[in-house]
Amino acid sequence: MRQRQNFALPSVTSTYAGESAGKYIAAALLSAKTLDSEAVTIMPNVKYKSVIQKIDVSGAIQDASCDFVTSGSVALSERILEPKELQVNLELCKSEFVDSWEALNLGYSAFDEIPATFNDFLVSYVGGKVAEATEQSIWTGLAASNGQFKGFLPALSASAATGGATDVIQSAASGSITSANVIAKLEALETAIPDSVYGKEDLVIYVPTNVVKAYQQAVGANYANGWNNQVTVGAKPLDYNGIPLVHCPGMSSSYMVAAQKSNMFFGTGLMNDYNEVRVLDMADLDGSQNYRIVMRYTADTQFGIGQDIAIHIPA
């Protein structure tokens, strides 16, 4: 019979900075589903700002001649990716986590990757929370809100509302998405995708959890004989007419965005000097059983060419 052992917890203040910190922050940020699946273009090492250049060339082709004759026009515009500085200042009571960590180290777990030290365990725990918050901010974040950075949906919705020739295209359909109407909503969004983008290899449709559920139900039980005669057995392919559906849990319900991965950007300073992870054992300082964890990182999102993006806005 396996007996429980008590591990002495060393009173140590650990610092993970520079390159080492980058690994911890990378694990936290890139575990956000949108980033982990590489559903957008990730731009690391953005120290302050990164300029996304947009070039629009028209009328460049002309009949041949012996002379150099300038033709067409070139329009240059840009969007700015400016990662916002964020931090985690968290205090945890070690007694609430010791049992879980000891259980892992004694083998009472189905997971193979076990944190080697108590400090690693706490950093891993907090890193999961950072990943969850990052996924939310990627899609719904507001730069003016504490603890958030600019998300795609507010920016895309604002652009679509402008309705200009260079702005995001809004789908003709709107309203909440259910299993009864998800196919019709996807059809309307597909129709709104510009011809110049349709068929591109990296074109995808970003969808939230409720749309994934609705699509699974629609493709399954709501069709004659169900998908592949399986009905409720097995996951149905997340693919609409050849366009992959990318599940993004951070998206608000009933939104959908059709865009190229190469036109959607996430910027961060993963490996630069802003990254810092500190684990402070407060026992030597104030005699408490508290651990303090400090993280610092940067993040921001930006889209490139608005007229190449189509969006379904529920309201």
112-135: average pLDDT = 76
Q: Please tell me the distance from the alpha carbon of residue 248 to that of residue 261, in angstroms, as a whole number.
A: 13
The tokens of 225 are what? 């004989």
* C-beta separation of 231 from 221 below 8 A: yes
Q: Please tell me the distance from the alpha carbon of residue 286 to that of residue 11, in angstroms, as a whole number.
A: 12
- Asked whether the predicted pLDDT for residue 122 surpasses 50, the reply is yes
- Asked whether the predicted pLDDT for residue 156 surpasses 90, the reply is yes
From residue 48, alpha-carbon distances to 43, 83, 301 in Å are 12, 7, 13
Closest CA to 155 of 306, 314, 36: 306
* C-beta separation of 29 from 299 below 8 A: yes
Question: pLDDT tens, 22-36?
Answer: 777 778 887 889 998
* C-beta separation of 4 from 102 below 8 A: yes
- Is the CA virtual torsion 59, 60, 62, 66 positive or negative? positive
- Asked whether the predicted pLDDT for residue 177 surpasses 60, the reply is yes
Q: Please tell me the distance from the alpha carbon of residue 7 to that of residue 119, in angstroms, as a whole number.
A: 13
- Asked whether the predicted pLDDT for residue 1 surpasses 50, the reply is no
Neighbours of 105 (CB within 10 A): 16
- The torsion of the CA quartet 49, 55, 56, 59, rounded to 10 degrees, works out to 160
In the chain, the amino acid numbered 241 is N
Neighbours of 41 (CB within 10 A): 17
Report the pLDDT value the prediction gives residue 40, as an integer from 0 to 100: 95
List the domain boundaries for the chain. 11-55+75-164+264-303, 172-255
- Asked whether the predicted pLDDT for residue 167 surpasses 60, the reply is yes
pTM of the model: 0.81
Report the pLDDT value the prediction gives residue 219, as an integer from 0 to 100: 85
CA 200, chain centre distance (Å):
21
pLDDT band at 114 (very low <50, low <70, confident <90, very high): very low
Q: 């300082």: which residue's tokens?
A: 285
Q: Across the chain, what does the average pLDDT equal?
A: 82
Q: Please tell me the distance from the alpha carbon of residue 158 to that of residue 167, in angstroms, as a whole number.
A: 9
CATH of domain 11-55+75-164+264-303: 3.30.2400
- Asked whether the predicted pLDDT for residue 302 surpasses 80, the reply is yes
Tell me which of 13 and 252 has the higher pLDDT.
252
